[in-house]
Amino acid sequence: MVPLLQAMDHPCRADQARVGIINQSEINAANGGNCEFYVTMGLLRRANDDQLRGVLAHEVAHQDLGHVAKAQVLGASLNILSAGLQQLFPGAGAIAPIAGELVARGYGRSEEFTADKHGVEILSRAGYNKGTMLDALSWIRRSSGDGGGGFLSTHPALDDRIATIQRMR
């Protein structure tokens, strides 16, 4: 997570970044604005490191591009901090498991495409290639049949987005 934050045009300081872990089985993630990010347990349980990195790069790109945050957590209540989570997001300022439901209304179509593109730029600055983003999006598409609908409902047009990234040099 921290290498991605450092590769932003307007980097989030690691001690400023917050990651909320939502107790929800759907695969989803969101940018809450002010360097706050949300990921669901479904994402953490099912994604491998690269897939998680690709999804986070997309959300970090939304933050970097100043896309107005539309993520909200309903019925949120802070839980006890779990030590294990710190290893998933080393160096992040605060990590808090949250019981509640992530409600992220989608960004506009063009914002999604720019976030993918900028996410690829952030990945490459951090030493990864666009395959990381492609792999993450393809994985979400494959998983959508069994409960991955969260990310899809807030992030439409997956096929177009994959094709657009493939055309990037």
Q: Which residue's CB is nearer to Zn ion, number 36 or number 112?
A: 112
Tokens representing 19 are 């990651």
Backbone angles phi, psi at 28, to 5 degrees: -160, 160
Site size toward Zn ion, by CB under 5 A: 3
Query: How many CB atoms lie under 10 A from the CB of residue 14?
Result: 16
DSSP letter at 92 equals -
Per CB under 5 A, which region of 8-16, 20-28, 41-49, 148-156 contacts Zn ion? 148-156
Query: Restricting to residues 150-169, which ones interact with Zn ion according to CB under 5 A?
Result: 155
Tokens 């491998």 locate to: 48
What track of x and - describes contact with Zn ion for positions 27 through 66 (by CB under 5 A)?
----------------------------------------
Give the residues across from 78 on adjacent strands. 98
d(CA 94, CA 18): 5
Which residues, including other chains, have CB under 8 Å from residue 138's CB and lie 6 or more apart?
162
Query: Restricting to residues 87-116, which ones interact with Zn ion according to CB under 5 A?
Result: 112, 115
In angstroms, give the least distance from the CB of 84 to Zn ion: 27
In angstroms, give the least distance from the CB of 86 to Zn ion: 26
Q: Which residue's CB is nearer to Zn ion, number 26 or number 112?
A: 112
In angstroms, give the least distance from the CB of 62 to Zn ion: 5
CA 61-124-52 angle, to 5 degrees, is 60
Chain residues that interact with Zn ion, rule: CB under 5 A: 112, 115, 155
